[in-house]
Amino acid sequence: MTPHVMKRDGCKVPFKSERIKEAILRAAKAAEVDDADYCATVAAVVSEQMQGRNQVDINEIQTAVENQLMSGPYKQLARAYIEYRHDRDIEREKRGRLNQEIRGLVEQTNASLLNENANKDSKVIPTQRDLLAGIVAKHYARQHLLPRDVVQAHERGDIHYHDLDYSPFFPMFNCMLIDLKGMLTQGFKMGNAEIEPPKSISTATAVTAQIIAQVASHIYGGTTINRIDEVLAPFVTASYNKHRKTAEEWNIPDAEGYANSRTIKECYDAFQSLEYEVNTLHTANGQTPFVTFGFGLGTSWESRLIQESILRNRIAGLGKNRKTAVFPKLVFAIRDGLNHKKGDPNYDIKQLALECASKRMYPDILNYDQ
């Protein structure tokens, strides 16, 4: 039975003893050994060893040749063959897809790799390390994890295996819906710190930014916080109570007006800080967190204040040039009887949301009712 040879790229080809003989003759020429009969004998012995099997690996054949040559009379030939094999492996590796992609990253010449994700700045080191890991992970997934027909379909473009650098590996999540309410009301541990429930809206948004960074660093997809206006409303109340207490302690006239004014300012500043945090931090994989805030259904004064703070900050833009923020992605819910039509209690907030969308692309609109 003549076996098939499994090549390094996964292809199977018929076994041919002539290929072995040719490789030994090239090594003999380099070693200045003029003994074609000996080269043919070694090739025949190795070929005989491979018979009777369905499949052999190319490395197994080359190792068998090395063993035969090292036990023979021409040590310089054995050395030449081993060096020849090593040099061929190096050249093959240089021509290989993996090496070419790594070189394109290192030399910053592979535009498709460097620009594949607008959310990753390929000029910074953390992103480059993530891209390098992604190149290796994709190669390993194609070679060792995925069925060959799936890989071939992906290469042809018949299908697209999304997140090939992450999804075949590890027990990782793609996207995550954060239980922000549970974390902020019950407390939690993050890193080396025990986080207590926040006592103000400014602290709550600061902790929210840290949660987003941690979650985004442990997944490879999007992060969502739904109904953030309702979840964070109790912390607006806490801030109001704190400011009201301060006014009473210092005998400030119109304590309620003072508390309202300070709370409105604190809430606006808190969400301004949150927006800047999201757009300036990098996760462990070198990108800005792909985070979405869902809001718009809260009816309390506190929830309305949060909705307005989110929208006014987005309209204002980032920095002195008033750049449109990329994240958080905003999703505003519209519901009959709440904010859909004139006369609804939150209609003014919906109008502000539409103004924001016309100027800053977001929020997206989610119609709550069918």
Kindly state the tokens that stand for 6: 């499994």
As beta bridge partners, residue 291 has 223
For residue 128, count other CB atoms closer than 10 A to its CB: 18
Q: How many residues does the chain have?
A: 370
A 10 A CB-CB count for 131 gives 23
Q: Are 339 and 296 in contact (CB under 8 A)?
A: yes
What's residue 54's pLDDT?
A: 87
Tell me the average confidence (pLDDT) per consecutive run of 10 residues in the chain, 370 residues long. Answer: 77 88 92 93 93 88 93 93 87 83 89 80 85 91 91 94 84 87 96 95 98 92 96 99 97 97 98 96 85 98 99 97 95 97 97 98 92
Taking the C-alpha atoms of residue 136 and residue 165, their distance in angstroms, rounded to an integer, is 8
Q: What is the pLDDT of residue 244?
A: 98
- State the pLDDT at residue 171: 67
Q: Which of 313, 316, 295 lies closest to 304 in space, CA to CA? A: 295
Residues with Cβ within 8 Å of residue 257, at least 6 apart in sequence: none
**Whole-number pLDDT of residue 285:** 78
Helix (H, G, I), strand (E, B) or coil at 121: coil
Measured between alpha carbons, how far is 346 from 117 in angstroms, rounded to an integer? Answer: 37
Q: CB 230: neighbour CB atoms within 10 A? A: 20
Per-residue confidence (pLDDT) for residue 174, from 0 to 100? 84
Angstrom distance (rounded) from CA 295 to CA 284:
27
pLDDT the model gives residue 329: 97
